[in-house]
Amino acid sequence: MNQRIYFDNAATTSLDAEVLAAMMPYLTEKFGNPSSIYSYGRETRMAIETARKSVAKILNAHPSEIFFTSGGTESSNTAINAAVRDLGCKHIITSPIEHHATLHTVENLQRSGEARLSFVKLLPDGHIDLADLEQLLRGSAEKSLVTLMHANNEIGNILDMDAVGALCRKYNAVFHSDTVQTVGHFPFDLKNTPVDFITGSAHKFHGPKGTGILYINENIKIKPFVHGGGQERNMRAGTENIYGIVGFAKALELATANHLADREKIGGLKKYMAVALEKNIPGVSFNGDVNGKSLYTVLSASFPASERSEMLLFNLDIHNICASGGSACTSGADAGSHVIRALKNKAEQVTVRFSFSKYNTEKEVDEVVETLKELV
């Protein structure tokens, strides 16, 4: 059996050894409760606040705007529910290609009658139609929440956050962006970005799973989202996930320090694979704005459907290659991808998302393309 090739880094990444080393003391000897008043507890409190300061500095935010959570899902749920319940947004504008952490949350608010829901139109390349967004905002009698993701996890398209934020400010709307695929992969300057809430998740950039952030702009005042003790400035009660928080900050520090080199390497692999696929696989096409405003980690490819290619993901797995499905197909138990369905209404293609990290190589790309030549 070949060595495993892991091309599913948009799903999750491996934990960096340096991140684990930074977390280790808090999994072993430094176990004091950060709420305790003795020095043993103060030491862990200090670790949390140092992590918060570091994250805030990297994102150019104030430490009081950073809340540690259990990940991207909790952060988006919190922001969206708070915008409706605490900030008076009775109209939600989103897109059909958001992550389920957003879509299922807004659908729940619609079902409960707490908010009306509108879907903004998409352009043929999968980008948000900003003219349609403005029309929806202008025509809304209620205060709106706009929730649009920064980079799409399936096709990699990147949203112009400044343009969307400017429209939101113009129409007095709240703006939440799911930035789970970009925090750790993209330089943020939150003091100069017109956004109210963003989210981050450590396991997308070689940090631990189950740990994330919610950024809440200092001008936004929401109610506590988990009730109990006074942790996270009375907003999210519960004894903190200290090692997760330390791991989040360390992973973000490493990602930021090496951003340019990693970006160049990973973006190079994406291009290399796109060219190799075009050269070797007849009928291959790419989804989203692959050569334009697109995240350098994600390549979504569609292959012509055939008896062989129907089994593509299964066969890739047999060859020890990890990649994600993204087929529009709705047959069988797999409901297919809502993102690909929203972009293409025909199912006669098989879509696979390849997503890369700094640990991937051109040799691995060559091997995967060779295997695909047999499987498609």
Question: Which residues are tagged catalytic?
Answer: 329
Segment 25-84, which members bind ligand PLP (CB under 6 A)?
A: 71-73
CB 256 within 8 A of CB 58: yes
Question: Is residue 99 near ligand PLP by the rule CB under 6 A?
Answer: yes
Any contact of residue 176 with ligand PLP (CB under 6 A)? Answer: no
What's the min distance (Å) between Cβ of 148 and ligand PLP?
11
Q: Per rule CB under 6 A, is residue 294 in the interface with ligand PLP? A: no
Which residue in the set 184, 212, 247, 325 belongs to the binding site for ligand PLP (CB under 6 A)?
212
* C-alpha span between 101 and 178 (Å, rounded): 9
Structure tokens, 256: 């930021």
d(CA 312, CA 58): 40
CB 93 within 8 A of CB 133: yes
CB-nearer residue toward ligand PLP: 45 or 240: 240
Nearer to ligand PLP among residue 95 and residue 153 (C-beta): 153
Sheet bearing 197-201, strands edge to edge? 66-69, 212-216, 197-201, 174-177, 144-147, 91-94, 116-119
Segments of 135-196 assigned E as strands: 144-147, 174-177
* Binding of residue 246 to ligand PLP (CB under 6 A): no
- Name which of 253, 262, 255, 337 is nearest 301 in CA terms: 337
From start to end of the chain, where are the E strands?
5-6, 66-69, 91-94, 116-119, 144-147, 174-177, 197-201, 212-216, 285-286, 298-304, 321-322, 324-325, 349-355
Residue 51 to residue 245: CA distance in whole angstroms: 7
The piece of 55-63, 123-131, 176-184, 257-265 that touches ligand PLP (CB under 6 A) is 176-184
Q: Which of 201, 241, 355, 357 binds ligand PLP (CB under 6 A)?
A: 201
Tell me the torsion sign for CA atoms 215, 221, 227, 232: positive
Using alpha carbons, select from 11, 352, 358 the residue that is nearest to residue 180: 11
By CB under 6 A, what part of segment 321-360 binds ligand PLP?
Answer: none
What is the x/- site pattern for ligand PLP, positions 100-129, by CB under 6 A?
A: -x----------------------------
Site string for ligand PLP, 143-162 (x = CB under 6 A): ------x---x---------
In whole angstroms, the minimum distance from the beta carbon of 63 to ligand PLP comes to: 21
Q: Is 302 in the site for ligand PLP (CB under 6 A)?
A: no
Give the one residue of 55, 82, 89, 180 binding ligand PLP; rule: CB under 6 A: 180
Q: Is 181 in the site for ligand PLP (CB under 6 A)?
A: yes
Contact with ligand PLP (CB under 6 A) among 16, 65, 178, 289 = 178
Question: Residue 227 burial (CB < 10 Å; 0-12/13-18/19+)?
Answer: exposed
From 115-123, 174-182, 244-252, 314-322, give the range in contact with ligand PLP by CB under 6 A.
174-182
Residue ranges binding ligand PLP (CB under 6 A): 71-73, 99, 101, 149, 153, 178, 180-181, 201, 212
